[in-house]
A and B are shown apart, each in its own frame.
With several copies, the nearest count.
Chain A
Amino acid sequence: MRAAADRMVGPELAARKLIAGRVARDIPEGWNVNLGIGIPTLVADLVPEGREVMFQSENGILGMGPAPEGEVDPWLVNAGKQNVTLRPGASLFDHALSFAMIRGGHIDLCVLGALEVSERGDLANWSTSSNDTAPAVGGAMDLAVGAKRIWIAMDHTTKQGASKLVEQCSYPLTAAGCVKRIYTNLATIDVTERGFEVIELIGGTTFETVQTHTAAKLHRGKGLV
């Protein structure tokens, strides 16, 4: 949402918007979609004009719109506690029904950020240590096992340059084998039976360059020359 975007500065925001926009392009009309915080939050505003996508927020909103332009309803916030609006056709409900949606397989897609994704689709995105000084999981584990598809939107590497795509996660898992696709600043990668499969290269990058920045074997997807 705009509120999140507003806190980022120029180049960082542009890079993140590139990833988020790539995700947004792949969401078909009519899907019910939950967005995690960080890059995923940006996806909502980047859905192509005229395509109706229903955004769900786990605190009890379906049909969430962008940040308010004028008057703010303080009772309407998203999962990141930022003020939002409602689109026509929106509905409001409690946490039991919200997580029945999420855990019952009714969310077509959840886009999450990640610390690490393994080549088997294991996701680590909630804790950087098993001795976390103040662990916090929120709805990540529910979304990871409950949504029909988990797509990850993240930078390909950490700020220190380490690959976030790995053979095996070193951080505590959010859920095993849940990730179907990864969108990064370098490539779009499917998680398949044989592991990571690059289906698209971003901004003129080569397959070899992406492999250099990836700590697990990459396979060439069918569409890739």
Chain B
Amino acid sequence: MIDKQVTSLADAMAGITDGSVVLVGGFGQVGHPMALIDALIEQGAKDLTIVCNNAGVGRSGLPRLMKLGRVRKIVCSYPRTAAVFSELYAAGQLELEITPQGTLAERIRAGGAGIGGFYTRTGAGTLLAQGKETRSIDGKDYVFETPLRGDVALIEAWEADRFGNLTYRGSGRNFNPVMVTAAALSIVQVQRVVEAGTIVPEAVVTPGLFVNRVVEVPYAPPFAAIEY
């Protein structure tokens, strides 16, 4: 019987190695897998590259992982959400790859969909296009962007079944359904695991084939877990 549920957060983290590229879902705290990040802190992997829209909020979660010196590089669109990021970056202790938000989403989608790279108008003629290949298409400037994949994706969803089918709540979807497609190992924190067949086939947002592990984490609204 297919069953992707693991029973502990420690089991969910099994096999994550030093130097991994880790895709982390969420927009601000909504859809951000706080329990999985805490478990990753516990697990110990270091020299990580974190791909996440923001650099976390407050002092727990990603800021704590960074503060512990476990993050080598961060790829994001808007890191200026955590004081810890700004301190470490200013001190030269953290590499930063800043990417426009839409380009970040599209690069991750490309990584998951087998696209070798694509041209976008976003960023053309700006600092963020420096050093990148550009091309004029129908008289407009485009920048070539490469796909982005992770060794691991840490995802938050609302419900899952044993096949790994996922639904999301409210604006908690954001990067999660994109990132879950683009990692060798996709680990999902859900509010509840439901019986197979409970999620209507039309209502599945992420088909289970993109998911490797599901861990049920007791109900917690997005802002409950933050330590400021």
Contact = CB atoms under 8 A, between A and B. Distances in A.
Are chains A and B touching in the complex at the 8 Å CB cutoff? yes
B157 to A, nearest CB: 11
Interface stretch (A3-11, A127-135, A154-162): A127-135
Contact of A142 (B103, B112, B161): B103
B222 A74 contact: yes
B208 A94 contact: no
Contacts of B2: 29-30, 52, 54, 89
Given A30-B2, A137-B77, A89 B163 contact: yes
Contacts of B128: 137, 141
Interface residues of A, number: 59
B51 to A, nearest CB: 12
A48 interface: no
A135 B109 CA distance: 24
B121 interface: yes
Given A94-B176, A100-B112, A130-B127, A58 B101 contact: yes
A29 B169 CA distance: 29
Interface residues of B, number: 72
Nearest to A57: B171
Interface string B105-118: 11001011111000
Interface in B52-88: 53, 77-80, 85-86
Given A59-B30, A142-B101, A75 B172 contact: yes
Interface in A97-129: 97-107, 127
B102 interface: yes
A101 B176 contact: no
Interface in B174-226: 174-178, 181-182, 196-197, 199, 201-202, 204-205, 207-210, 221-224
A101 to B, nearest CB: 6
Nearest to B114: A103
Contacts, number: 206
A74 B222 CA distance: 6
B19 interface: no
Nearest to A64: B171
Nearest to B29: A81
Nearest to A79: B27
Contacts of A225: none
A88 B89 contact: no
Nearest to B184: A105
A173 to B, nearest CB: 5
Contacts of B162: 89
B170 A99 contact: no
A63 interface: yes
Nearest to B197: A88
Contact of B170 (A73, A98, A175): A73
A49 to B, nearest CB: 13
Contacts of A62: 207-209
A137 B171 contact: no
A14 interface: no
A172 B171 contact: no
Given A60-B171, A106-B181, 6 more contacts: A54-B2, A75-B30, A104-B112, A104-B181, A134-B79, A141-B122
Question: Nearest 9 CB-CB pairs, A to B?
Answer: A75-B170, A99-B102, A142-B102, A88-B197, A91-B204, A103-B114, A100-B113, A74-B221, A89-B163
